Amino acid sequence: MMSEKPTIYLIDGSSYIYRAYYAIRHLSSPKGFPTNALYGFIQMLLKVIKEKKPDHLAVIFDAGRQTFRNEIYADYKANRAAMPDDLRQQIEPIKEAVRAFNIPALELAGFEADDIIGTIARDCEEKGMAAVVVTGDKDLMQIVSDNVTLLDTMKDKVSGPAEVVERFGVGSERVIDILGLAGDSSDNIPGVPGIGEKTAIKLVNDFGSLDELLARANEVKGKTGERLQEFAEQARLSRRLATIDCHVPLAWSYDDFAASPQDNRRLAELFKEYGFTTLMKELTSEATLSAEDYRTVLSSDDFTALVRQLTAVRAFAVDLETTSLNPLEAEIVGISFSFREHEAYYIPVGHRYPGAPHQLSRDDVLGALKPLLLDPEKHKIGQNIKYDYQVLRRAGIDMQGIWCDTMLASYLLNPTRTSQGLDSLAVEFLDHRMISYAEVAGKGKEQKNFAQVEVEKASVYSCEDADATYLLHKLFLPRLAESGMERLFFELEMPLVKILAEMELYGVKLDLPLLQRLSDGFGGQLADLEREIFALAGGEFNVNSPKQLGEVLFERLQLQVGKKTKTKTGWSTNVDELERLAGEHEIARLILQYRSLSKLKSTYTDALPKLVDAASGRVHTSYNQAVTNTGRLSSSEPNLQNIPIRSEEGRSIRHAFIAAEGCLLLSADYSQIELRVLAHLSADRVFCDAFARDEDIHTRTAAEVFGLFPQMVTQEMRRQAKTINFGVIYGQGAFSLARELGVSTKVAKEFIDNYFARHAGARTFLDGCVREAEDNGYVTTILGRRLPIPDIKSSNGNIRAFAQRNAVNYPIQGSAADIIKQAMVRVVDRMEREGMKSRLIMQVHDELVFEVPEEEKLAMEMLVKHEMEHAVTLRVPLRVDMNFGRNWSEAH
């Protein structure tokens, strides 16, 4: 295009600040500083640098809202809303980032960024150079020429003279004529009333220019002609306002814009401050850990010496290298250890490639290490040590003394961190860029199995993992003690690692023939629903296509359009819209039913059989201990948390989770745990009294809210009271409660007012949670878990309100998470002490599911009930609902 000419890239900073702000959902730093515009702007800058590799570039900003155009027309941009506060806060950090990249940043009082860009671009052209303007602003098309092009990185679109004609129907020299006629509402440029862009394009093409058009306005018929004559001066004024001033008094030279190496130190400080760990890893971090004392253990003598050293120390980091990320399939390729800072050892046992060095026998190595790994007095340190435990377990070693998982320590210290992975933690806390897996094994189709990786590369890679893990544990444990979470870590989270590992390894038995029948049945129901939908729609279409569905609902059937139904990409057909329409037309209800059934089929009845392990015949979910912000466990592949229970179809899927031959499933589900936690934390007299009397709390609430005797409460009233009870926990306001209950906002507000009039203790506690978050930046749970609320002081009202709801909800959710985890630890510990054959096989929300041999039914019922109901001591009693069944649905 212009590669042979000297080229300058001019980045429209002001345009991209706004585009980044609105393109990226809310982000904030660990301290609650808004960062979405900053992050988006940096990513845009990197895209230009990486893809275009400019040797000369600059970023241009607006210097302020007052320019020479305001002197010409006082109302210029007068209707533009003030910059959002949370965006305003990010302007200086954005400019700081530009400076850290060593890119010139230009702005000039009295002129807009467009004027500076236009001036430099025109100068470039006169000097025989080229300019690429990085922007999404259509107004800059007026400066496009053979040597000046626009680049929209967000759309990957380049605009030259041909694209200007395609967009405006005229050459770049006439774009200002179009803008003068049509005006621009965003800049409050008036134009000529009644003339839009299409009409403006036609008129300018018919008459050749705006001046010629205005001179011959009497030739234009009708209202348009009259308006052209009446508003001729306004059109000229509008053109002047829209015209980019290409004669800004600016002294610059080509050499001023020469690309310079970025200042990694400044960027690292900035990225660290704002929590951009990934950017730190990619751009600013270096390999700071020395590999000088990393050793590869290939001889028997060296291995014996290593075992002797391991025997002499109390704690060591261990890291396995394997053939698979799936612990059910993984074979050990090597093991690394670290027990002193910057020192580590790698024992290869399974590298297989031409020319691979002789390695010690895997069985001999594991045999010699087994006493150390089984010794509970030897503290084992690992990063996601659950995986290492599972692989060793399959190799016949039930590792004891699992003491510190750096991933979990990091998670406790900051559960909102984007990544708890070793690479990210090393960058953030050790200022070290780890060797990536791709660097040693390749990526994509070329990626090797780790057994094929050269021993020399594998050794440095694995030793580094062990070394970094050892170093991190020494940083994290004192911080846990300082934050008061040391006991939570050692007595709850770490014991849970082995429990979850065993649950995953054991898995859950599935009734595969039943799943196949369900899948076939769902398929038939979907086909029937499609026929009904097509009949109502008056023809066939792709029900799964939002675009086609929107056209059917709002164009063909002419259903009532909602306030937010129309989007830039078409009609919105999300759940909220369909629920809104369900009362108006049967087709919306059927589509909701179709979507629900389709999701059940694809996510469960079709997918679950594919996840069954061939060797065990069971499905093995992964429990994620370091993901949620509240301490709750989550599960994946499959996600057991999301199987619906309210619908008949959802319950039918639970029928497929079955007990082994001679066993039953026991479901033990905490009753109203969150409300009991609220009663305990708030000491609310009414709540505590109701739970002490073992009353139905929702009936009690309904009686209070509606002013009735409990005997007069209907099922509908109880349902509404349940919604109110849980709405309080989730910080729900009158508007959302009204929507959920199907009542007016006024009625919902009366419900809430009546509720808090009776529950003064709960009101005081919930208000106190918000104050705690404002004072400390976090809230706490029953067991002292700190849950950060970084946005609690956000200047954005919506974001701050969301943070306040979290401040109310997190202590309750987090405490419930603490209790179920404590119950798991207590129950499993007692099962092991009493030699029970029963197994804990699932944890879902507030429910534990056990596979119980029939002869242990009574003993397990008593054991589980006692340990769960005494997991923690509250002001109110904990209650557990328990049932047995041949499948999960029967047991629930």
CA distance 837 to 26: 49
* Per-residue pLDDT at 156: 87
Q: What residues does CATH 3.30.420.10 cover in the chain?
A: 285-506
CB atoms within 10 A of CB 298: 17
From-to residues of CATH 3.40.50.1010 in the chain:
7-257
Please check the confidence at residue 720 and state whether its pLDDT lies above 50: yes
Is the CB of residue 426 less than 8 Å from the CB of residue 434?
A: yes
- 3-state helix/strand/coil string of 445-492: HHCCCHHHCCHHHHHHHHHHHHHHHHHHHHHHHHHHHHCCCHHHHHHH
- How far is residue 238's CA from residue 227's CA, in Å, rounded to a whole number? 14
Q: What is the mean pLDDT of residues 657-667?
A: 96
Question: What six digits make up the tokens of 725?
Answer: 């009870």
State the pLDDT at residue 885. 96
Q: What is the rounded CA–CA span in Å between residue 579 and residue 598?
A: 17
In angstroms, rounded to a whole number, what is the distance separating the alpha carbons of residues 804 and 792?
A: 6
Where does the pLDDT of residue 564 fall: very low under 50, low under 70, confident under 90, or very high at 90 and above? low
Are 847 and 669 contacting, i.e. CB atoms less than 8 angstroms apart?
yes
Note the pLDDT of residue 552: 87
Residue whose tokens read 């509404």: 720
Q: Label residue 784 left, alpha or beta by phi (over 0 means left) and psi (-120 to 50 means alpha).
A: left
Q: Which architecture characterizes domain 7-257 according to CATH?
A: 3-Layer(aba) Sandwich (3.40)
Encode pLDDT of 180-222 as tens digits.
898 888 788 888 888 888 898 999 898 988 888 888 988 888 8
The predicted pLDDT at position 569 comes to: 60
The closest alpha carbon to 334, from 344, 321, 345, belongs to 321
pLDDT digits (tens, 9 = 90+) for 282-316: 887 778 889 999 999 999 999 999 999 999 999 99
Give yes or no for a contact between 439 and 453, defined as CB atoms under 8 angstroms apart. Answer: no
| pLDDT tens for each residue of 609-621 | 999 998 888 999 9
pLDDT at 850 over 80: yes
Q: Is residue 877 within 8 Å of residue 866, measured between CB atoms?
A: no
pLDDT reported for residue 2? 45
Q: How far apart are CA 41 and CA 47, in angstroms?
A: 10
- Asked if 334 and 462 count as a contact pair (C-beta separation under 8 A), the reply is yes
- Is the CA virtual torsion 521, 526, 531, 533 positive or negative? positive
- DSSP single-letter state for residue 584: T
Which CATH architecture group holds 285-506?
2-Layer Sandwich (3.30)
Distances from the Cα of 659 to the Cα of 444, 525, 618, 640, 645, angstroms? 40, 28, 11, 16, 19
* pLDDT per residue as tens digits for the range 446-483: 899 999 999 999 999 999 999 999 999 999 999 999 99
- Residue intervals in the chain for CATH 1.20.1060.10: 508-618
CB 114 within 8 A of CB 12: yes
Q: How confident is the model at residue 27, as a pLDDT?
A: 86
**pLDDT at position 655, please?**
94
> Where residue 1 falls among pLDDT bands split at 50, 70, 90?
very low
Q: What is the mean pLDDT of the chain?
A: 91
Grouping H, G, I as helix, E, B as strand and the rest as coil, residue 862 is: helix
Q: What tokens does 399 get? A: 């590792």
Please choose, from the candidates 547, 550, 291, 616, the residue with its C-alpha nearest in 3D space to the C-alpha of residue 432: 291
What homologous superfamily is domain 674-813 in, according to CATH? Answer: 5' to 3' exonuclease, C-terminal subdomain (1.10.150.20)
Task: Please say whether the beta carbons of 161 and 145 come within 8 A.
Answer: yes
Which residues of 626-752 form beta strands (DSSP E)? Answer: 634-636, 657-658, 663-670
CB atoms within 10 A of CB 480: 20
Instruction: Give CATH for domain 508-618.
Output: 1.20.1060.10
Task: Report the percent of the chain where pLDDT is more than 90.
Answer: 61
C-beta neighbour count of 380 within 10 angstroms = 22
Residue extent(s) of CATH 1.10.150.20 domains in the chain: 674-813
Other beta carbons within 10 Å of 586: 13
Collapsed DSSP state (helix, strand, coil) of residue 296: strand
Bridge partner list, 541: none
Residue 773 to residue 784: CA distance in whole angstroms? 14
